[in-house]
Chain A
Amino acid sequence: MSQEQIELITIDALLEKVRAKKAQDCRLVQISATQLPGQIELTYSFDLNSQLTNLRLSLPGEAPHLPSISSIYLCAILYENEIHDLFGVQVAGMAIDFKGKFYRTAIKFPFATSAKIPCASSAAAPATCATPPPAITGAIK
């Protein structure tokens, strides 16, 4: 990757590293997940003085789980619910947990390796209309 700085970290160091970013007054720019063979790669991007820095960690492809950083960066709730709904990563301790209903996708965890995506010709109409409203826990105070 050009220009952007990536620091490889372990899952155990995530909260400590994110706290350090917060202490530097960095802005959380995004959290991105990438499905790779046998693993899910997560990239946490931060901005300080318009310079981008990134923390990167890998999760196992099977039963991935992650601690939430929403106690440090509240805005992480959207990224973390998205990563759960699209990749099937279990995120513990989210300030607002949409319980898998952040995105009303017809296929469960559509971006995960295990997702069964029907081909276009045989795809049935998505069942999203029948999806019940989300049972949200938590709120922004």
Chain B
Amino acid sequence: MARTVIPFGPQHPVLPEPVHLDLVVEDEKVIEARPSIGFIHRGLEKLAETKDYIEFVYVAERICGICSFIHGQTYCQGIETIMNIAVPPRALYLRTVWGELSRIHSHLLWLGLMADGMGFESLFMHSWRMREKVLNIIEATTGGRVIFGSCKVGGVRRDISADMIKTILTDLEGIEKDMRDLTRVFINDSSVKARLSGIGVLTKQEAWDLGCVGPMLRASGVAQDMRQQGYAAFKDIPVVPITRTEGDSYARCAVRCEELFQSVEIIRQAFAKIPEGEIAVKVTGNPTGETITRTEQPRGEVVYHLKANGSKNLQRFRVRTPTFANLPAMLKVLPGCDLADVPMIVLTIDPCISCTER
């Protein structure tokens, strides 16, 4: 049978960001997928050599427009580890709350994109309508909707008042109820199941061997979540990873759906336990040393390798983003699938190319 090469991306209706695949197909079956990225590489890692390490939080937050807060948080954690800075407990709790709000809005964004990719337009609109409510909380507490600008080396820039906490908890009740209705459709609707079940299957061993992270890894049955390491307030708020065993697109969708409610519960616990006190400590001097810091972003484990030699500029700022780790698995599951399933498989890794090409 004759083989045809079909270009997929970098501009494609299901791709918010540019990634390109040359799909080698026989009839409607994908035989091979040849990837191509690198359209928007920004060289942000190199900027660390010319920016002051304190002001560099500003750049770290701009690696991604969705998980921006956790990028800033991970960078700050790394610098604080190198400099042995004791961050005030209240600041750690506030970071946890904003991190989980980021996870909720990121997962809702992804659910919307997935629904849009399936042609389920009303579901897409409902997902993003709910995301707006989460963004409103973020805006009310940080002043920003996407880039929070709230994290700094030594703590956070803003506090959340007791009155605001009450308001947020009330809002979360409504959001949680709406999300129950929304996720019920993603989990139970026959058309969603038919579109996602058995598509892009990745076994537990394959996911591990290919270096997968986050929902991609957990949907294949590996119970790993960097929040278990106890950074920020997670030493007081235990996290049990949400897993599925099917390893298909439906399982990845289901993991993200369940993680929405896990994050709501974490925020409730954080507000119940948040201590009074300072939100930042003064940081003086320059860092000397090295660390590799890992946190759990909505898309999975992010790795920051920071190396400092006592000057105000870092010697090395290296970020391994979750999408970067999940790309090999995407290429593994594409061969053998139907051409029409390619958008679903690409979407279920929740690709973030701006992160990948930082």
Chain A residues with CB under 8 Å of chain B are: 1-2, 4, 25, 27-30, 32-36, 43, 45, 47, 50, 52, 54, 73-75, 77-78, 85, 98, 101-105, 110-111, 117, 128, 133-134, 136, 139-141
Q: Is the CB of A104 within 8 A of B39?
A: yes
A102, B356: Cα distance in complex, Å = 12
Q: Identify which of B136-144, B244-252, B316-324 touches chain A.
A: B316-324
Q: Check B328 against A77 for contact (C-beta < 8 Å).
A: yes
Shortest distance from the beta carbon of B81 to any chain A beta carbon, whole Å: 6
- Check B316 against A29 for contact (C-beta < 8 Å): no
Contacts of B41 in A (CB 8 A): 103-105
Contact between B208 and A1, CB atoms less than 8 A apart:
no
Question: Contact: B315 with A34, CB < 8 Å?
Answer: yes
Residue in A54, A85, A111 whose CB lies within 8 Å of B292? A54
Residues from chain A with Cβ under 8 Å of B290 in the complex: 1
- Does B307 count as interface, using CB distance less than 8 angstroms? yes
Residue of A nearest to B334 (CB): A140
Task: Report yes or no: B38 in contact with A2, Cβ–Cβ below 8 A.
Answer: no
Question: Is A30 within 8 A of B34, CB to CB?
Answer: no
Majority-rule SS of B interface residues: mixed
Shortest beta-carbon distance from A43 to chain B in Å = 7
Do residues B228 and A1 form an inter-chain contact, with CB atoms below 8 A? no
Interface residues of B (CB under 8 A from A): 32-39, 41, 43, 45-46, 81, 208-211, 224, 226, 228-229, 289-292, 294, 301, 303, 305, 307, 315-316, 318, 320, 324-325, 327-329, 331-332, 335, 357
Give the distance to chain A from B188, nearest Cβ to Cβ, in Å. Answer: 33
Please give the distance in Å from B256's CB to the nearest CB on chain A.
Answer: 21
Tell me, rounded to whole Å, the shortest Cβ–Cβ distance linking A116 to chain B: 13
Q: Are A139 and B32 in contact (CB under 8 A)?
A: yes
Q: Which of A4, A52, A78, A105 contacts B328 (CB 8 A)?
A: A78
Residues of B within 8 A of A136 (CB): 34-36
Q: How many A-B residue pairs have CB under 8 A?
A: 104
Contact between B38 and A4, CB atoms less than 8 A apart: no
How far apart sit A133 and B315, CA to CA, in the bound complex (Å)? 33
Name the B residues within 8 Å of A30 (CB-CB).
303, 305, 318, 320, 325
> A50 to B33, alpha carbons, bound, how many Å?
31
CB distance from B171 to the nearest CB of A (A): 34
- Cβ–Cβ < 8 Å partners of A103 in chain B: 37-38, 41, 357
Contact present for B291 and A28 (CB under 8 Å)? no
> How far, in whole Å, are A43 and B320 apart by their CA atoms in the complex?
12
State whether B34 touches A75 (Cβ < 8 A): no
Give chain A nearest CB distance to B172 CB in angstroms.
Answer: 29
Query: Nearest Cβ in chain A — how far from B32, in angstroms?
Result: 5
* Contact A28 B211, CB 8 Å, known A75-B325, A75-B328: yes
B328 touches A140 (CB 8 A): yes
| Across the A-B interface, the 9 shortest Cβ-Cβ residue pairs | A75-B211, A30-B320, A103-B38, A75-B328, A34-B316, A103-B41, A32-B305, A140-B331, A104-B38
Closest to B305 in A: A32
**Min C-beta distance of B66 to chain A, whole Å:** 21
